Amino acid sequence: MNQQITPESTGVEKKLRILSGIQPSGTPTLGNYIGAMRNWKLLADEYDCLYMIADLHSITVRQDPSKLRQQSIQLFALLLAIGLDPEKNVLFFQSHVPQHTQLSWVLNCFTYMGEMSRMTQFKDKSAKHSDNINCGLFTYPVLMASDILLYQANLVPVGADQTQHLEICRDIATRFNGIYGNVFTVPEGYYPKFGARVMSLQDPARKMSKSDPDDCFISMLDSADNIRRKIKRAVTDSDAEIRFDPENKPGVSNLLAIQSALTGDSLDSVVSSYEGKGYGVLKSTLTDVIINTLSPIQNEFNRYMNDRAYLENVWRNGADHASYLANKTLSKVMKKVGFIAK
């Protein structure tokens, strides 16, 4: 038998493929780390993984170019710093792989205005940036669908805020396949086993977000002093009992959940470790846990940031690999819709 050796056929059995993306808009928070990024590392052996910095998506709201550049490089270095091995994962910048925008144009012609105007994120973002409701913001989910469909991804790890976009991606793929035959794999959402939802430190009814004021979140690059200060100021409540009860004690429960997520200890055992103790002990213990988690990542981060040549090498290889895979899908699509081969 003549087996062709290609970058994606090195395993005996074909693994399921995972693709996810993260926007370079600010430094990721502890919430992004717990809810998304750290799970990515656990998937590398079982799946064929591609992770992309979604820089094209980030200009749907106005960005300062030098900040965008800085944040993009930092985010790339952070992916390596959390332990994503570039030999096992394809790590790349979306803007380095032109097939994303090419496929996006085609898929725009298979997506309806009505579908896009129903997207809750579009409604939210256009309310927030009412001076800049641009067409890119409107068709953002089509670009995201292109990111996923280009690689024939089977599974897409996404947070709750992206499930509607994943649903529309499935609709677009199914519609296209219905017209042209089986061109795209219709992807499923991937919901990690260890996904705790981390809430704001000041308003624990809301998700921790980097667009909130600084003391609401912990950034992955916060100094130990900042972490200590922010946890100290985190909202609790006036009855001094430490128990997990998100409804009545959202602030304390959030702190307990963070500790459980970072240590891997069950919530029950975290709670019982505080029997007879007060909020002060909870806060100082949790502060140590967070610092112990983030400081090795920050050391690695600094090492990568000081080795620009290495970073460039990794992102170029990532772009080449991604582009090779993307081209296969794109050329099929171009042929199917009736474009002339070059």
Query: Which residues of this protein are in contact with ligand TRP, per CB under 6 A?
Result: 19-23, 54, 57, 144, 147-148, 156, 158, 162
DSSP, collapsed to helix, strand or coil, labels residue 75 as helix
How far lies 151's CA from each of 60, 95, 323, in Å?
23, 15, 9
State the minimum distance, in angstroms, from the CB of residue 150 to ligand TRP.
Answer: 10
Give 163 or 299: the residue with its C-beta nearer to ligand TRP. 163
CA atoms within 13 A on the CB side of 130: 1
335 is catalytic: no
State the minimum distance, in angstroms, from the CB of residue 197 to ligand TRP.
Answer: 15
Ramachandran quadrant class, 26 (left: phi over 0; alpha: psi -120 to 50; beta: rest): left
Give 92 or 274: the residue with its C-beta nearer to ligand TRP. 92
| Residue of this chain nearest to ligand TRP (CB atom) | 21
Q: Which of 15, 210, 328, 332 is catalytic?
A: 210
Give 93 or 304: the residue with its C-beta nearer to ligand TRP. 93
**Rounded to an integer, what distance in angstroms lies between the CA atom of residue 134 and that of residue 63?**
14
The residue type of 332 is: K
Give 50 or 252: the residue with its C-beta nearer to ligand TRP. 50
State the minimum distance, in angstroms, from the CB of residue 304 to ligand TRP.
Answer: 22
CA atoms within 13 A on the CB side of 342: 1
41 is catalytic: no
67 is catalytic: no
**Rounded to an integer, what distance in angstroms lies between the CA atom of residue 39 and that of residue 36?**
6
State the minimum distance, in angstroms, from the CB of residue 117 to ligand TRP.
Answer: 18
Give 79 or 156: the residue with its C-beta nearer to ligand TRP. 156
3-state helix, strand, coil split of the chain in percent (to 5) is 55, 10, 35
- Say how many residues make up the chain: 342
State the minimum distance, in angstroms, from the CB of residue 15 to ligand TRP.
Answer: 18
Show which residues are catalytic: 125, 207, 210
